[in-house]
Amino acid sequence: MTSYKELGLVNTKELFKKAVSGGYALPAYNFNNMEQMQSIIQACVETKSPVILQVSSGARKYANQNILKNMARGAVEYAHELGYDIPIVLHLDHGDSFELCKDCIETGFSSVMIDGSHLSYDENVALTKKVCEFAHSQKDYVTVEGELGVLAGVEDDVSSEHSHYTQPSEVIDFVGKTKVDSLAISIGTSHGRAKFKPEQCTRDANGILIPPPLRFDILEEIEKKIPGFPIVLHGSSSVPIEYVHMIEKYGGKLTDSVGIPEEQLRKAAKSAVCKINIDSDGRLAMTALVRKVLVEKPDEFDPRKWLGPARDELKKLYSHKNQNVLGSAGQA
Nearer to Zn ion, 15 or 92 (CB): 92
Q: How many residues bind Zn ion (CB under 5 A)?
A: 1
Per CB under 5 A, the list member of 234, 292, 311, 315 interacting with Zn ion is 234
Nearest approach, Cβ of residue 284 and Zn ion (Å)? 16
What are the angstrom distances between the C-alpha of 253 and each of 128, 250, 284, 287, 288? Answer: 39, 9, 12, 12, 11
Contact between 125 and 147 (Cβ < 8 Å): no
Neighbouring residues of 312: CB distance < 8 A, sequence distance ≥ 6 = 39, 289
Stretch that binds Zn ion, among 125-133, 168-176, 231-239, 268-276 (CB under 5 A): 231-239
Stretch that binds Zn ion, among 101-109, 193-201, 230-238, 241-249 (CB under 5 A): 230-238
Nearest approach, Cβ of residue 189 and Zn ion (Å)? 9
Supply the DSSP string of 268-329, one letter for each residue.
Answer: HHTTTEEEEEE-HHHHHHHHHHHHHHHHH-TT---HHHHHHHHHHHHHHHHHHIIIIII--T
Residues numbered 292-311 forming contacts with Zn ion, rule: CB under 5 A: none
Q: How far apart are the first and last CA of the chain?
A: 29
Q: Give the C-alpha separation, 89 to 12, whole Å.
A: 7
Dihedral sign computed on CA atoms, order 128, 134, 137, 139: negative
Nearest approach, Cβ of residue 235 and Zn ion (Å)? 6
Nearer to Zn ion, 69 or 191 (CB): 191
Contact between 325 and 266 (Cβ < 8 Å): yes
Nearer to Zn ion, 32 or 42 (CB): 32
CA–centroid distance for 279 within its chain: 6
Nearer to Zn ion, 234 or 292 (CB): 234
Nearest approach, Cβ of residue 269 and Zn ion (Å)? 17
Nearest approach, Cβ of residue 318 and Zn ion (Å)? 18
Residue with the CB atom nearest Zn ion in the bound state? 234
Enzyme catalytic residues = 93
Q: Is 193 in the site for Zn ion (CB under 5 A)?
A: no
- Chain residues binding Zn ion by CB under 5 A are 234
